[in-house]
Chains A and B, each alone.
Chain A
């Protein structure tokens, strides 16, 4: 084991204990560990942005690139400088242009991806659940596929009904949700509860694996130190 590995293991052992101290409540040791983690993560992200983004994609084209590459590199550089003006309240309006560019392109990419990657394919897949020829070609258990399709269809409609907040309005009568829609929404609520429970179980599972990994780390770190004390074992 090298010195670097040894120092890393010691720091890992200490910080693991600091984080575990949260079991007695919020305390300065836990907060110290959290602040150090946040600071290290921010510093690492900055270094990564400089080394992996600014240097190869801005500085190298500006210094060693062709004329076209230099001109193209000027555009993100100007936008980047304009974005920095957001620091100053007086100059912050200048930063609206790059912010608008970022928000607009980001929204377009997200919405376009959601439509072409999730909305249409998933709707198409839901319809295909009742395509008997296609289902038969994939799996011989046609009845099971149909039952699965019916459950998915009911779950989809019921979940959508749960998020329907419209009410029927009639003159001289108080507005109220339609009874059948409310009942369907309760079915959707059950589907949502099952889904959230499934996700929570996944989070719990991930946390337990992390705990097991840390316990293995602590044991493996301490065991060599304790072995000399118990030579017979």
Chain B
């Protein structure tokens, strides 16, 4: 069963309702049909009877509801017109009360005795209530004078009014517009369309009533938007895979059963043996010497910046890599730091990694031992910068407060009571360093250095450059900063390849030269393994393809 919502009060009503059960507002739009647009006819004089005329399609319950209204029926009105009231006869549905039912206080009222009231006939509904079957003899009820006179005709009323001395008052226009029209013909609106008379609700009988429920206001179901997302089969697979991963996070995974030697183990061992054998042979014999790679633009830029450093320049050197990647980072940075030391630069070592300071000491002692740099004289190790990006920002803004002491807990900076170490003399701010060099293996850490430090170097009178020595995996992240215009990183050396290229530029740096031969040989072997593996896998998959699929492919 459908329902409709009242546009005025918003409550639910049955779909076939014409007016709201709660506020009597119209629910069915008042729309003129072509037949109704004919010239207006005179409104019937007796409005109640016209209302009682059931419109087409009107429901029974509405008719029943209207029958309960205190509107005189046609018969009773006919009786009234016939002068029945003159005789004191009331319509049949007039209430008759017996003497027993009259309370004492009412019986003591003057004008009518209980006996007289007892003589009045009982109405039908009262008979049913009391169970009486015989109707007592009725006695005419006295009616008041105004009711006992016959109702004059409308024409007589008008004539009597015109005869009266009082001048008729003029209604205001708004009141004239809304007064019930009984005898006026249906009015025509300014647009020439006949104005419909409201036939239901509290405004029944009024013409020109603004429809409160035009069609465009009529409530209707809101459009439904399907929530189902159209996805491809590939996307569905990915979504299922992601859902499986997420669900598996909360599940306890059973311990895998220890299996014997499988083909995967054999394959893994084979690859490891081939790769290790090739590398070991290359390391032991040292016969796979390959020419060092050509330098690139970013490497040449680092070389140019270091070459232009003044004598005894102050250089900040950050060692931000983990011990696991120290092999690659040492090989990449050896030739660069060697170049710095050749220029006689004072080095200030820092690190945002707890293991960085000790790696820096190891690097200076092992790879640059030929320069005889002494801690506290040629270089100073300020140690660990705690706090990650926050610590970096703090160090950039106030290096003296962030790292006041060296790794040996010695006051490092120049003050009134302390002369300061040679590497930090004249340095108050980060811009006082001639060069900032970051040796980093982590892309996020490299980006943090650029983001926190580089904006501080953009001041107009700053000549400090920022260069990087990075792992090979950091190169894709760092290259946009180098190729930007203006450059955010003024040069960088990446991985063993960059270190070897820099070694070729300077003609120094033993470590990358030693590693470069086995590295190139290992890369060739790895490429061959990948190629052979791909061919074998393709062959196996082709041979294992079902025959019918082959037939389909041929077709």
Q: Identify A121's interface contact among B269, B354, B452, B484, CB under 8 A.
A: B484
Contact A55/B404 with A117-B455, A117-B488, A216-B283 known, Cβ cut-off 8 Å: no
The smallest beta-carbon distance between A9 and chain B, in angstroms, is: 13
Q: How far is it, in angstroms, between the C-alpha of A173 and the C-alpha of B227 when the chains are bound? A: 10
Report the stretch among B12-20, B73-81, B200-208, B511-519 that lies at the interface. B511-519
Residues 38-79 (chain A) with a chain B CB within 8 angstroms: 41, 44-45, 48-49, 51-53, 55-57, 60
Is B454 close to A, CB under 8 A? yes
Across the interface, do B355 and A206 meet the contact criterion of CB distance under 8 Å? no
The smallest beta-carbon distance between B453 and chain A, in angstroms, is: 8
The smallest beta-carbon distance between A103 and chain B, in angstroms, is: 11
Q: Identify A48's interface contact among B354, B388, B471, CB under 8 A.
A: B354
Across the interface, do A106 and B526 meet the contact criterion of CB distance under 8 Å? no
Which chain A residue has the least Cβ–Cβ distance from B322?
Answer: A41
Contact A113/B265 with A202-B471, A203-B473, A212-B519 known, Cβ cut-off 8 Å: no
Is B25 close to A, CB under 8 A? no
Contact A25/B473 with A56-B404, A118-B451, A209-B496 known, Cβ cut-off 8 Å: no
Report the stretch among B89-97, B218-226, B426-434 that lies at the interface. B218-226
Is A3 close to B, CB under 8 A? no
Contact A208/B384 with A118-B450, A174-B228 known, Cβ cut-off 8 Å: no
- Chain A residues closer than 8 Å to B388, beta-carbon distance: 106
Contact A201/B472 with A128-B485, A172-B224 known, Cβ cut-off 8 Å: yes
- Chain B residues closer than 8 Å to A92, beta-carbon distance: none
- Chain A residues closer than 8 Å to B448, beta-carbon distance: 113
- Chain A residues closer than 8 Å to B409, beta-carbon distance: 51, 55-56, 60
Q: Identify A206's interface contact among B272, B276, B328, B485, CB under 8 A.
A: B328
Across the interface, do A45 and B355 meet the contact criterion of CB distance under 8 Å? yes
Residues 441-468 (chain B) with a chain A CB within 8 angstroms: 441, 443, 447-448, 450-452, 454-455
Across the interface, do A49 and B386 meet the contact criterion of CB distance under 8 Å? yes
Q: How far is it, in angstroms, between the C-alpha of A214 and the C-alpha of B488 when the chains are bound? A: 35
Is A157 close to B, CB under 8 A? no
Which chain B residue has the least Cβ–Cβ distance from A196?
Answer: B476
Q: Identify B230's interface contact among A135, A172, A176, CB under 8 A.
A: A176
Which chain A residue has the least Cβ–Cβ distance from B405?
Answer: A56
Across the interface, do B389 and A212 meet the contact criterion of CB distance under 8 Å? no
The smallest beta-carbon distance between B346 and chain A, in angstroms, is: 21
Across the interface, do B390 and A198 meet the contact criterion of CB distance under 8 Å? no
Across the interface, do A48 and B328 meet the contact criterion of CB distance under 8 Å? no
- Chain A residues closer than 8 Å to B167, beta-carbon distance: none
- Chain B residues closer than 8 Å to A195, beta-carbon distance: 476
Q: How far is it, in angstroms, between the C-alpha of A67 and the C-alpha of B406 when the chains are bound? A: 23
Is B23 close to A, CB under 8 A? no
Is B268 close to A, CB under 8 A? yes
Q: Identify B447's interface contact among A23, A118, A138, A171, CB under 8 A.
A: A118
Across the interface, do B452 and A109 meet the contact criterion of CB distance under 8 Å? yes
Q: How far is it, in angstroms, between the C-alpha of A198 and the C-alpha of B276 when the chains are bound? A: 24
Is B274 close to A, CB under 8 A? no
Contact with A along B333-345 (1 / 0, CB 8 A): 0000000000000
Contact A122/B472 with A49-B386, A53-B386, A117-B454 known, Cβ cut-off 8 Å: no
Most buried by A among B330, B357, B451, B494: B451
Residues 114-154 (chain A) with a chain B CB within 8 angstroms: 114, 116-118, 121-122, 124-125, 128-129, 131, 134-135, 138
Is B168 close to A, CB under 8 A? no
Q: Identify A202's interface contact among B331, B475, B526, CB under 8 A.
A: B475
Q: How far is it, in angstroms, between the C-alpha of A171 and the C-alpha of B518 when the chains are bound? A: 65
Q: How far is it, in angstroms, between the C-alpha of A56 and the C-alpha of B402 when the chains are bound? A: 10
Is B495 close to A, CB under 8 A? yes
Is B383 close to A, CB under 8 A? yes
Q: How far is it, in angstroms, between the C-alpha of A60 and the C-alpha of B405 when the chains are bound? A: 11
Q: How far is it, in angstroms, between the C-alpha of A151 and the C-alpha of B87 when the chains are bound? A: 108
- Chain A residues closer than 8 Å to B393, beta-carbon distance: 109, 113
Across the interface, do A208 and B230 meet the contact criterion of CB distance under 8 Å? no
Across the interface, do B455 and A208 meet the contact criterion of CB distance under 8 Å? no
Is B522 close to A, CB under 8 A? yes
The smallest beta-carbon distance between A133 and chain B, in angstroms, is: 11
Which chain B residue has the least Cβ–Cβ distance from A201?
Answer: B472
Which chain A residue has the least Cβ–Cβ distance from B265?
Answer: A25
- Chain B residues closer than 8 Å to A135, beta-carbon distance: 485
Q: How far is it, in angstroms, between the C-alpha of A215 and the C-alpha of B282 when the chains are bound? A: 10
- Chain A residues closer than 8 Å to B518, beta-carbon distance: 212, 215
Contact A109/B390 with A117-B455, A175-B230 known, Cβ cut-off 8 Å: yes
- Chain A residues closer than 8 Å to B450, beta-carbon distance: 117-118
Q: Identify B523's interface contact among A124, A125, A208, CB under 8 A.
A: A208
Q: Identify B495's interface contact among A23, A167, A171, A202, CB under 8 A.
A: A202
- Chain A residues closer than 8 Å to B228, beta-carbon distance: 174-175
Is B528 close to A, CB under 8 A? no
Across the interface, do A206 and B383 meet the contact criterion of CB distance under 8 Å? no
Q: How far is it, in angstroms, between the C-alpha of A169 and the C-alpha of B407 when the chains are bound? A: 62
Q: Identify B355's interface contact among A44, A125, A167, A204, CB under 8 A.
A: A44
Q: How far is it, in angstroms, between the C-alpha of A167 and the C-alpha of B223 when the chains are bound? A: 18
The smallest beta-carbon distance between A165 and chain B, in angstroms, is: 10
Q: How far is it, in angstroms, between the C-alpha of A216 and the C-alpha of B512 when the chains are bound? A: 13
Which chain A residue has the least Cβ–Cβ distance from B388?
Answer: A106
Across the interface, do A215 and B390 meet the contact criterion of CB distance under 8 Å? no
Q: Identify B357's interface contact among A52, A109, A171, A213, CB under 8 A.
A: A52
The smallest beta-carbon distance between A200 and chain B, in angstroms, is: 8
Across the interface, do B485 and A134 meet the contact criterion of CB distance under 8 Å? yes
Across the interface, do B230 and A211 meet the contact criterion of CB distance under 8 Å? no
Is A97 close to B, CB under 8 A? no
Across the interface, do A113 and B496 meet the contact criterion of CB distance under 8 Å? no
Across the interface, do B284 and A219 meet the contact criterion of CB distance under 8 Å? yes
Residues 183-233 (chain A) with a chain B CB within 8 angstroms: 195, 198-199, 201-206, 208-216, 219
Is B217 close to A, CB under 8 A? no
Q: How far is it, in angstroms, between the C-alpha of A125 and the C-alpha of B227 when the chains are bound? A: 41
Is A110 close to B, CB under 8 A? yes
- Chain B residues closer than 8 Å to A211, beta-carbon distance: 276, 279, 522
Contact A53/B515 with A113-B393, A113-B451, A205-B495 known, Cβ cut-off 8 Å: no
Q: How far is it, in angstroms, between the C-alpha of A173 and the C-alpha of B355 when the chains are bound? A: 59
Is A105 close to B, CB under 8 A? yes
Is B324 close to A, CB under 8 A? yes
- Chain A residues closer than 8 Å to B475, beta-carbon distance: 198, 202
Q: Known A-B contacts: A125-B483, A215-B276. Give 20 more (CB < 8 A).
A: A23-B269, A23-B272, A45-B355, A51-B407, A55-B409, A113-B452, A122-B481, A122-B484, A125-B484, A129-B485, A175-B225, A175-B228, A201-B472, A206-B325, A206-B471, A206-B473, A212-B283, A212-B515, A212-B522, A214-B327
Show 26 A/B contacts (Cβ-Cβ < 8 Å), sorted by A: A41-B355, A48-B358, A52-B357, A53-B386, A105-B390, A113-B389, A122-B481, A125-B483, A125-B484, A131-B485, A138-B485, A172-B224, A172-B226, A174-B226, A174-B228, A175-B227, A198-B476, A202-B475, A202-B494, A203-B472, A205-B495, A205-B496, A209-B519, A212-B283, A212-B327, A212-B522
- Ordered nearest first, which 4 A-B pairs have the shortest CB separation? A117-B451, A202-B473, A213-B327, A125-B484
